[in-house]
Structure 1
Amino acid sequence: MKIAFVIQRYGENIVGGAEYFTRLVAERMGQYHEIEILTTCAAEYHFWKNEYPEGSDILNGIRIHRFANATKRNPNKHTQIQETVFYADHTVNDEEAWVTEQGPNCPEMIKYISHNKNKYDCFVFFTFRYYPTYYGIKEVTSKSLVVPFAENDPALDLSTTKEIFERAKGIVYCTPEEKTLVERKVGITKGKVSDIAGCGIEVPKSIPRTENEELQDKQYVLYIGRIEGSKGCYQLFEYYMRLVNEFPDLPNLVLAGLDAIEIPKHDKIKYLGFISEEEKYSLLSGAQFLIMPSPYESLSLVTLEAMCCGTAVLANGECDVLKGHCLRSNAGLWYQNYDEFSECFRFLCSNDHLRSKMGDNGKTYVKKNYSWDVIEKKYMELFSLFDHGQKS
């Protein structure tokens, strides 16, 4: 079968989030089907500036078709339209204006989908929030799957969002919590094809100790991801500095990833910037535990990677997805206020045996639910819906 994965940006240097997830699934499913990527020339998601060259490319055996965006996002206009469609009376035209400004505004991609839809057996649209999914799914309704990456935000209440889920032949959720959220907020037609899949998690069999001299033989807790307010980082800094002022001997807080806000200057907060895949696993395996402060997640690959490394997790309990991972795995604790954060943090630091047991539980949970053989089987079954007697 020939299958198109539609995603707003795609590239080897785009790490984390839906885009990285899409690349992992594409490269894995490329073993069984002819997978092609339809994406834009954007490398970043704030303005959707065209940075990659337009045209075809190949990355790790997967063909990529890139289309130039017609416009860059205007942040002021985007904010104004978003305030209207999220919090005031508005029309469908207002919502479509939001979709266009949300972007990436790429009519050439939609034109390609329209003209070439008979060349593909199936189109898989990754993330529901963006222009390519809304306008692309209109062109290929009966051939479409949507992987929504839904979080609890006002975009789920829009009629344009409901239209996406109505038009899609099937839905591929990441977690049970995401499925429950979408069904509650959007209302899914009875009998709609769906499954809960997520992404395969695979860590190296042999993980060396970190080469960072500052961290060798030191106790630390770890955050990996975008360092920004929407990921709960302001609250994390507030809670950690308050806690370490009360208990100065606590482990350092180590941060890795893109810094989009000002990290507080503190002797016990260490910022590493971007790190390699190899260093990521070294840091995860050596941490006392991973902290995930985000209130909004649809899967959280790094949480599952930590569990797969045998590392316990301390998560924001306001996020149903993260709390669900902790409950089902018995591999993490969660907090919903400072007192709970303080108790859980200190409890994990002082209980080596408990952390070790949580680590074992996490490995079992990931192997059972997020090993590649499990994920591949689910995608193969969904793709078979579109196989009309062809050899794959």
Structure 2
Amino acid sequence: MKIAFVVQRYGEDIVGGAEYFTRLVAERMSKYHEIEILTTCAAEYHFWKNEYPEGHDVLNKIRIHRFTNATKRNPNKHTKIQETVYYSTHSVNDEISWITEQGPNCPELVKYISQNRNKYDCFVFFTFRYYPTYYGIKEVENRSLIVPFAENDPALDLSITKEIFESASGIIYCTPEEKKLVERKVDIKKEKVSDIVGCGIEIPASIPHSEKLENMKYVLYIGRIEGSKGCYQLFEYYQRLVKEVPDLPKLVLAGLDAIEIPKHNKIKYLGFISEDDKYSLLKDAEFLIMPSPYESLSLVTLEAMGCGIPVLANGECDVLKGHCLRSNAGLWYQNYEEFSECFRFLCSNAQKRTKMGENGKRYVEKNYSWDIIEKKYLELFCLFDPGQKQTIS
């Protein structure tokens, strides 16, 4: 089969989030089918500037077809119209204006899908809230799957979101919590094909100790450092707790800094890190802290569990709380008092941390090994070629 993966941006230097997830799945599924990426020339998501060259490219043997965005996002305009469609009475035209400004505004990509839809057996759209998904899925309704990456925010309440899910032939959820959320918010028909799949987690067999933080006790945050990821609250809670318990482990941060990190002798920022450094840092951390209130899967949470360290998560996020409950490998908080208690408990109970780490490894192996993930994708692809029997290589 020839299958198109449609995603808003794609590249080796795009780490984390839906785009990184897409690349991992594409590279694994290329063992079984011809996978081609249809994407834009954007490398970043704030303005969708055209940075990659237009046309064809190849990354890790995956063919990529990039299209130029017609416009950059106007942040002020985007914020204004988003406030309207999220929180005020509005029209469908307002929602259309929002999806255009949300971007990436790439009519050439949609035009290509329309003109070449018969060249592909199936189109898989990654992330529901972007222009290429809304317009692209309309062109290939009966040959489309969507991986929504849905979070509990007002975008799920929009009428254009309902259109997207109605148009798709099937839905690939990341977690049970995401499935429950979408079915509740969007009123998915019972006959709609779906499965809870997620992404494979592959932990290196041998992980060296981190040279960056040798002999240092620390808790770790990896990801975009911004308000929507709960980082303001994390800084507030951590600095408050340090005043009460001065000998706490340091808070180490790695990833893109989109806000001003507090200057504090117990907070250390590493910037971007390599994949090898990521696993070394995870292995040596006391635990991972995940303060985000909005997640649809959280690869780094699963990577931490796969490395055998516990997770302290924001309990306002049902997905993160669900991982902790099913794995028995994490704790969660919903206010400062709970944050303080959980943080201190994990710091002072090495045996409990070890046990939770073992639980996490089993959870990841049972639910997120690549053979399980690949089998589920292959079964869904059979919807578009039922005569073809799929086997795991």
Q: TM-score range by the shorter chain?
A: over 0.9
Correspondences of 1:301-340 after superposition (within 5 Å): 301-340=299-338
Q: Which amino acid aligns with 2:308?
A: G
Aligned partner of residue 195 in structure 2, secondary structure: strand
Equivalent of 2:269, from 254, 258, 271?
271
Aligned partner of residue 146 in structure 2, secondary structure: strand
Paired residues, number: 390
CA distance, structure 2, for counterparts of residue 337 and residue 159 of structure 1: 34
Correspondences of 1:1-392 after superposition (within 5 Å): 1-212=1-212, 215-387=213-385, 389=387
> Relative to 1, partners in 2 of residues 1:369 and 1:390: Cα closer, same or farther, differing over 3 Å?
closer
Aligned-residue offset at 1:391: 8.5
CA distance, structure 1, for counterparts of residue 370 and residue 41 of structure 2: 29
Aligned-residue offset at 1:367: 0.4
Q: Which amino acid aligns with 1:273?
A: G
CA contact (8 A) 2:382 2:388 kept: no
C-alpha offsets along residues 186-236 of structure 1, whole Å, 9 cap, x if unaligned? 000121000000000001000000111xx2111100000000000000000
CA distance, structure 1, for counterparts of residue 47 and residue 248 of structure 2: 40
CA distance, structure 2, for counterparts of residue 54 and residue 82 of structure 1: 29
CA distance, structure 2, for counterparts of residue 391 and residue 324 of structure 1: 34
Aligned partner of residue 204 in structure 1, secondary structure: coil
Q: Which amino acid aligns with 2:229?
A: K
Q: Which amino acid aligns with 1:337?
A: N
CA distance, structure 2, for counterparts of residue 121 and residue 176 of structure 1: 28
C-alpha offsets along residues 251-270 of structure 1, whole Å, 9 cap, x if unaligned? 00000000000000111100
CA contact (8 A) 2:100 2:131 kept: yes
Q: Which amino acid aligns with 1:150?
A: A
Q: Which amino acid aligns with 2:129?
A: R
Aligned partner of residue 56 in structure 1, secondary structure: strand
Q: Which amino acid aligns with 1:357?
A: K
Aligned partner of residue 322 in structure 2, secondary structure: helix
CA distance, structure 2, for counterparts of residue 54 and residue 279 of structure 1: 32
CA RMSD in angstroms, aligned pairs only: 0.9
> Relative to 1, partners in 2 of residues 1:167 and 1:253: Cα closer, same or farther, differing over 3 Å?
same
CA contact (8 A) 2:38 2:64 kept: yes
Aligned-residue offset at 1:389: 3.9
CA distance, structure 1, for counterparts of residue 206 and residue 387 of structure 2: 43
CA distance, structure 2, for counterparts of residue 231 and residue 98 of structure 1: 22
CA distance, structure 1, for counterparts of residue 388 and residue 270 of structure 2: 50
Aligned-residue offset at 1:142: 0.2
CA contact (8 A) 2:123 2:144 kept: yes
C-alpha offsets along residues 112-155 of structure 1, whole Å, 9 cap, x if unaligned? 00010000000000000000000000000000000000000101
Aligned-residue offset at 1:302: 0.2
Aligned-residue offset at 1:93: 1.1
Q: Which amino acid aligns with 1:237?
A: F
Aligned partner of residue 332 in structure 2, secondary structure: strand
Aligned partner of residue 39 in structure 1, secondary structure: strand
CA contact (8 A) 2:124 2:144 kept: yes
CA distance, structure 1, for counterparts of residue 262 and residue 222 of structure 2: 16
Q: Which amino acid aligns with 1:227?
A: I
> Relative to 1, partners in 2 of residues 1:187 and 1:171: Cα closer, same or farther, differing over 3 Å?
same
Which stretches in structure 2 are left out of the alignment for 5+ residues? none
Aligned partner of residue 305 in structure 1, secondary structure: helix
CA distance, structure 1, for counterparts of residue 179 and residue 26 of structure 2: 22
CA distance, structure 2, for counterparts of residue 94 and residue 271 of structure 1: 40
Aligned-residue offset at 1:90: 1.3
Which stretches in structure 1 are left out of the alignment for 5+ residues? none
CA distance, structure 1, for counterparts of residue 214 and residue 112 of structure 2: 52
Aligned-residue offset at 1:388: 5.0
CA distance, structure 2, for counterparts of residue 68 and residue 391 of structure 1: 38
Bigger shift: residues 333-342 or 79-88: 79-88
CA distance, structure 1, for counterparts of residue 250 and residue 134 of structure 2: 44
Q: Which amino acid aligns with 1:305?
A: E
CA distance, structure 2, for counterparts of residue 165 and residue 304 of structure 1: 27
Aligned-residue offset at 1:390: 5.9
TM-score normalised per structure 2: 0.98
CA distance, structure 2, for counterparts of residue 350 and residue 302 of structure 1: 23
Aligned partner of residue 125 in structure 1, secondary structure: strand
CA contact (8 A) 2:46 2:73 kept: yes
Q: Which amino acid aligns with 1:84?
A: T
TM-score normalised per structure 1: 0.98
CA distance, structure 1, for counterparts of residue 234 and residue 12 of structure 2: 29
Aligned partner of residue 84 in structure 1, secondary structure: helix
Q: Which amino acid aligns with 2:193?
A: V
CA distance, structure 2, for counterparts of residue 371 and residue 234 of structure 1: 34
